[in-house]
Each structure stands twice: as C-alpha cells, then as structure tokens.
Amino acid sequence: MDRIIRMSIVIGFVCVLAGNEAVGCGSAPSAVICGPDPKYVKASTQITFDGSCSSDSGGSIVKYEWDLDGDANYGESGELGSTVYKSFAAGNYTVKLKVTDDDGLTDIEPCTVHAVKVVVDVAGYEDYPQWLHVGSSHPLAVGCTVTPSGLGGTYTWSKQIPLTGGTITFLPNVHDEDPTLWVNKRGVYLARVEYTVGGLTVSDNTSTIFAVEVELFRNSSYTEELYDWPADGGYPRSPAYIFGKEDPIYVAIQNYAPLSDTLELYEEAVKVTSDLDSTGIYLDVKEWPGDNDRTCYNEHAVNELLYLGEDSNDDANNNDTIEVQDEEVLKFWLEVPPGSGTYIESASVMVDRGEVGVEWQADYTSYSNTCGDLPEAPNSANGFMNSTTWTYRGWSQNFNNGDLDSAESHWGSSGDSDYADSVDLAFRYGHGETDGYSSYLKFFKDLDANSNPQAVDELYWDEIEWGDKDVDWVAIWSCDFMDGSDTSLKQMANGVHLICGYVTECLDVDCGQYFADALQNSSVKQAWFYTDDAFNPPEYIARVFGTELFENDHIYGVQYPDSIPSDAYTHWDFTAE
C-alpha cells in the first residue's frame, strides 16, 4: 500500500515524515538583504543588491533568486546570485530575495526601495536659457519636484559655478522647497538644490540663469559710465552731464545673448521714456563679435544710437531721439526675457540737453525817461548766439529776445521757468542800478495808452530764484547788479551754479561773442574775467558768485550737483590790468 507522507513544522525546523519515520529534518534558511543600506537610492543609477548576509544554521544556501521587477517571477535573467545589480526609474519598488538551502528549504525577504529623483522647476521657463533681471524687486520663482513624493526629507539651495562675484538670495530661506531667488549683480548663475532623505542626497541644477540689466555709457569704448547725482542730504537729484545734439548715449546689456557664437539681434529690446514722453521709443540691440560675455549694444544695431532732442523720433532710417527739454530723468526698460513683450525698469539717469538763451534791451530812451540807450546790446546778443561754441558743443539756441520781447517776468521767479530758468546758460544785456541798499535790473516796457513812456520794471535780488528748474549759469552784463554782500546775493540762488555780473559799471560793448567763444575751452569764471579784461577799463570790477564747488565749472564734462540755499556761498572779483 502507498506510504503516507506527513510534514511536521517546528519552529526553526522543517521535518519531512514518511509514515511515522522521519526522512528529512533541518532548519529553514534565513533570507537577508544586507545592501543597499539604507533603502534610499538615486534614480537611474545602478544599485548593488547583496544577499550574502543570508544564512542557514543547519546547512548551506545553494541558490539565491531575486525578483527585481515585481513580476513575482524569481531567478530571471540578471536575478541569480548572492549579488545582483539593478537601476530604477524614480519611484517606490519592492525587491524580494528568495534563498534555497541544501535541504530544499526556502525563505523570502522583501524590502522596499525608494529610487529618488529631484528636478528643478523654474516658473515661466520651459526651455533653456533663463533670464533674470538684477535686483530684489525682480525675483525668479524656482522650486523642485521630488519623485516619489511623500518621503519627507530636507532641501538646501545654493549658488553654483562662480562665473560672477554676485550672490543668489533664496526666499524665504535656502531650505524652502519652492523659494524665489534674486541676484545682486549681473552675470551667469546656476541655482542648485540638494534633497536629502534617509542618508541619501540627490541634486539638480537650474539651467543657466542670465542675470541682466541695462548699462549706460558716454563713449563708444564703454569706459565712461553715464551717471547722475542722486538726491541726498537735502540736495535734489541732478545731472552729471550736459548733452549736445551730437552726443549719443550708448547702451550695453551683458549676457543678454545666450549663444556666444551667433551675432544675435534683439529688436525693441530696450524702451526709453522721459518726463515729457512717457510712451517712449524703442532701441534694438545686437551682439558684437568677440564678446565672451554675450553683450548686446545699441551701437551695433543699425540706426539705434540714442540722442536727446526737442522731439522723440523712432524712425528706422535714422538714429533715435528722445524728447528732453530741461533736466529730466530718462528711464530704460529692458525686455525680460527677450521677445516676451514684458519690460522691466532697468536703469534711470537724469540728463540735461544743452541750451542757451539771451535777452537784451537797447532802446531805453524811447520807452523810459531814466536810462540812455545801449546800442551794442543787439550786436552783443547776436554775437553770443552766433558763436561757434554752440554748434561745436551741439547746444540749442532757444531764444534771443530783444527790447519789448524782453521782460522782467522772464527773469523773476514768477515767470522764469519758460525763459531764464529753461536753459543751461542765460545771458542778459541791459541796464542795472543800485539804490544803496539793493541792486536791481531795469526792464523797460511798452508805452502807455497815451503813448507815453512808463517807469521801468525793477527786478531785485529777493524776486529771483535761479536754478530751481534748469539754469546752471547766469551772465548779467548790467551795471552794479552784483554790488552786495554774499548774504544778499544768495537770495537769487536756488540751484544755480554761478552768477556772473558787475559790482561797478560796465561799458556798452559788443562782448557777447567773445564771452561765448571763451566758454568753448575755458571755465565759466575764466571766460567772464577774460571778457572783462578785453573790454573794460581797470577800475571796473567783474564778479562771479557761487559756491566753491562750482568755481571751475565748464559747460562741458562732468557737472557737479546743483546747489541748495543752505550751501556756503562766496564770490571772486576781477579787475582788468
């Protein structure tokens, strides 16, 4: 008859019985996966699985079989041996080891493997590269995705590849999963995140981040920065340069062109606005050969140099002009990223367009009973305006008002913003006088209703506030107007740099062109004294009044910040030899 086989299982042992007779009895093996440890691994990286820690106390293990792909089939290709190798896409996996001993007994050990991957995301950028405007007010949203999710772990962000001396600031902090970042300096950056969980650290970088901003220059070699004087300590913002008609502004944008081997053209990359033209004009920029920093310039795009003018002009067939009348702030808006149509205010600078104006009165006897005529007044005024200084420097000649077209209100604080204080240098030729207490300028006006002369209008120091709009230098060819103390003369100064005039009488002479010509290569003070020396006798005293900062002012080159009434004023006198 058939034999009855029975199996008796005792803790730690498996016994095979035939009837009441034992035919095989031994301990079961123990499957142990001793590596990797811990069970967090880097996705897509070959991992070593080690089953050599498995044991069999009553014999030996003769077979190691693995299920690495979760299909419940053991020992398939690559799944045999105490050590096997496997890489995983990001995710959670269950790996099992099955061991068999020499008694044919088996054991299975499962373990969960987390194949981890972190990927940096940059909001708004799906493709390489990424642009970021410099400054804390223009952050870039970054973040990262961890697969598989729900593992916990920590994040640490940092700057990579030190291609620039700037820093990246991560907000709210470097351990945030989805921070925003900003940089404090133009350049090239990478942001790197390190994700750590269970002893494993994985990382990813952003694509190259180009931190950009507009730079402004005065020369084509890009060595003279265009800047202004910021408002500080009660001083107003003021320009550092006066521009002529032929003085361009050069614009450069480093790292704007990502492909260094291609001469890239970006149309309308920069928008320029002024106080008078808020709509603005647009500048194209182009990369230049040999620039390792991928810099783009308006100079190298066709007809894209920027000039200051009386009107704005964005004609493709000519260089661009932006409307500027007085001391105004230009704003430069950069398209970030290129081609997006989104413009960010990138730079601003206060500028001034060079302008002169003159007023004169000659026919005093026809319109007043108190003064003689000044026949050289129109000659002096016309000579002043016709000087080659203004064409050489590219300055605009805004007004030349004579006789009844000249008025006291054009020089007093109530109406000078359209005349004397609307230009950078204002020249006045006419009578002046002192009454022993104060000095004043005399302006005749039209005859009365009965065709009789009227009393002249008298403009006193305390009725003047030169410099609160535009004028930097005022030249007064009038007798006695500067006959006063510094404290008295200071009443006229509200930003003006220098006031030139006479403490004594001065002759009626054709001096205007001489003075203007001298300004081309001399300081304002020197030009005034040279003119006095050329036309007046020794007993007459010429005076220049202002602060010491402006003593050597020229109408070209760097200009110093405008003065304020609290400044200490002084004067310089000259007597011809």
- The answer on 505 and 480 residing in a single domain is yes
Last residue of one domain, picked from the residues 62, 89, 115: 115
pLDDT value, residue 37: 76
Mean pLDDT score of the chain: 90
- The answer on 344 and 324 residing in a single domain is yes
- Residue 470 scores a pLDDT above 80: yes
- The answer on 235 and 156 residing in a single domain is no
Write the CATH number for 11: 2.60.40.10
The pLDDT confidence band at residue 561, using thresholds 50, 70 and 90, is confident
* Whole-angstrom distance, CA of residue 407 vs CA of residue 266: 51
- The answer on 172 and 38 residing in a single domain is no
Kindly list the distances between the CA atom of residue 301 and the CA atoms of 256, 264, 298, 309, 338, in Å, as whole numbers in the listed order: 14, 10, 5, 20, 16
- The answer on 253 and 160 residing in a single domain is no
Answer whether 148's CB lies under 8 Å from 112's CB.
Answer: no
- The answer on 104 and 77 residing in a single domain is yes
pLDDT value, residue 316: 81
- The answer on 229 and 255 residing in a single domain is yes
Radius of gyration for the alpha carbons in the chain, expressed in angstroms and rounded = 43
* Whole-angstrom distance, CA of residue 346 vs CA of residue 329: 13
Q: How many helices (H) and strands (E) does the chain have?
A: 6, 39
**What percentage of the chain exceeds 90 in pLDDT?**
76
- Residue 4 scores a pLDDT above 50: no
**Ramachandran region, residue 165 (left: φ > 0; alpha: ψ -120 to 50; beta: rest):** alpha
Per residue in 301-337, pLDDT tens?
999 999 999 999 998 888 999 999 889 999 999 999 8
Residues in the chain: 577
What is the pLDDT averaged over residues 214-235?
93
Beta bridge partners of 439: 434
pLDDT value, residue 21: 40
- The answer on 319 and 302 residing in a single domain is yes
Q: Which of 420, 572, 384 is nearest to 494 (CA)?
A: 420
Write the CATH number for 399: 3.40.50
- Within 420-557, residue ranges assigned H as helices are 486-489, 512-518, 524-535
- The answer on 279 and 382 residing in a single domain is no
- What range defines the domain where residue 271 resides? 215-353
The pLDDT confidence band at residue 240, using thresholds 50, 70 and 90, is very high
Q: What tokens appear for 222 in the block?
A: 């890009």
- The answer on 425 and 344 residing in a single domain is no
Residue carrying structure tokens 């003119």: 531
**Ramachandran region, residue 161 (left: φ > 0; alpha: ψ -120 to 50; beta: rest):** left
Kindly list the distances between the CA atom of residue 451 and the CA atoms of 183, 269, 454, in Å, as whole numbers in the listed order: 73, 63, 9
- Residue 412 scores a pLDDT above 60: yes
pLDDT value, residue 165: 73
- Residue 222 scores a pLDDT above 80: yes
- The answer on 478 and 372 residing in a single domain is yes
What is the pLDDT averaged over residues 568-576?
94
Could you give the 3-state DSSP secondary structure of residue 158?
A: strand
pLDDT value, residue 7: 41
Per residue in 56-81, pLDDT tens?
998 999 999 999 999 999 988 888 99
What is the pLDDT averaged over residues 85-97?
95
The pLDDT confidence band at residue 293, using thresholds 50, 70 and 90, is low
Write the CATH number for 271: 2.60.40
Question: How many domains is the chain partitioned into structurally?
Answer: 4
Per residue in 8-25, pLDDT tens?
444 444 454 444 443 345
Beta bridge partners of 132: 211
Last residue of one domain, picked from the residues 82, 115, 148: 115
Last residue of one domain, picked from the residues 115, 147, 177: 115
- The answer on 363 and 475 residing in a single domain is yes
Could you give the 3-state DSSP secondary structure of residue 516?
A: helix
